[in-house]
Amino acid sequence: MGDFKLAVIGAGIFAEANIYPSLSTHFFDDVDRVALCDLDEKRARRLAKHYGWPSVYSDFSVMIQREKPDAVIVCTGARTHPDIVVRVLGMGLPVFMEKPASIDLKGTQRILDASIKYGRIVQVGHQKRHGLAYEKARQIVSGREEFGSILQIESKMLGFTVFPTMYTCMLEWQCHNLDLVISFGGEIREIEAKSHMLSDRTGALVAMLRFESGALATLNWGTFGGPGQFAERLEIISDRGKGVIVSNAREVTCYAEDTGSTWAPDWNPISRNQSHVFNGYVGELRHFIDCVKGGRRPVPSIEDEAKTMGWLAEIALKAGIPIEWGPVSSAL
Assess if residue 63 is contained within a domain. yes
Task: Report the distance separating Cα 89 and Cα 71, nearest Å.
Answer: 10
**Helix H segments across the chain?**
13-14, 20-23, 41-51, 60-67, 81-90, 105-118, 132-142, 144-147, 166-169, 175-185, 275-278, 281-294, 302-318
- For the chain, the domain total comes to 2
Whether residue 229 is predicted with pLDDT greater than 80 in this model: the reply is no
Which of 82, 98, 127 is the C-terminal boundary of a domain? 127
Residues 112 and 134 reside in one and the same domain: no
Residues 46 and 77 reside in one and the same domain: yes
Residues 93 and 171 reside in one and the same domain: no
Is residue 330 very low, low, confident or very high in pLDDT (cuts 50, 70, 90)?
Answer: low
Task: Report the distance separating Cα 264 and Cα 261, nearest Å.
Answer: 10
For residue 217, what is the domain's CATH number? 3.30.360.10
Give the pLDDT mean for 115-129: 98
Which of 127, 143, 173 is the C-terminal boundary of a domain? 127
Q: Which amino acid is at 241?
A: G
Residues 197 and 312 reside in one and the same domain: yes
Residues 57 and 139 reside in one and the same domain: no
Task: Report the distance separating Cα 279 and Cα 166, nearest Å.
Answer: 25
Assess if residue 116 is contained within a domain. yes
Residues 250 and 136 reside in one and the same domain: yes
- What range does the domain containing 79 cover? 4-127
pLDDT at position 332 is: 55
Which of 103, 127, 151 is the C-terminal boundary of a domain? 127
Single out the residue of 124, 117, 98 nearest to residue 15, CA to CA.
98
Assess if residue 326 is contained within a domain. no
Assess if residue 96 is contained within a domain. yes
Is residue 227 very low, low, confident or very high in pLDDT (cuts 50, 70, 90)?
Answer: confident
Assess if residue 211 is contained within a domain. yes
Assess if residue 331 is contained within a domain. no
Instruction: Say if CB 271 and CB 282 are below 8 A apart.
Output: no
Residues 144 and 255 reside in one and the same domain: yes
Residues 27 and 119 reside in one and the same domain: yes
At 318-329, the pLDDT tens digits run: 999 999 999 986
Residues 135 and 120 reside in one and the same domain: no
Single out the residue of 5, 50, 55 nearest to residue 35, CA to CA.
55
Residues 120 and 46 reside in one and the same domain: yes
Assess if residue 46 is contained within a domain. yes
Whether residue 182 is predicted with pLDDT greater than 60 in this model: the reply is yes
Alpha-carbon torsion, ordered 63, 64, 67, 71, to 10 deg: 130
Packing angle of the helix pair 81-90, 60-67 (nearest 10 deg)? 30
At 4-36, the pLDDT tens digits run: 999 999 999 999 999 999 999 999 999 999 999
77-91, 148-162, 218-232: least confident range:
218-232
Residues 121 and 144 reside in one and the same domain: no
Q: What is the mean pLDDT of the chain?
A: 95
Residues 26 and 85 reside in one and the same domain: yes
For residue 97, what is the domain's CATH number? 3.40.50.720
Counting residues of the chain whose pLDDT is more than 70, the rounded percentage is 98
Single out the residue of 231, 233, 220 nearest to residue 319, CA to CA.
220
Assess if residue 324 is contained within a domain. no
pLDDT at position 219 is: 98
Is residue 226 very low, low, confident or very high in pLDDT (cuts 50, 70, 90)?
Answer: confident
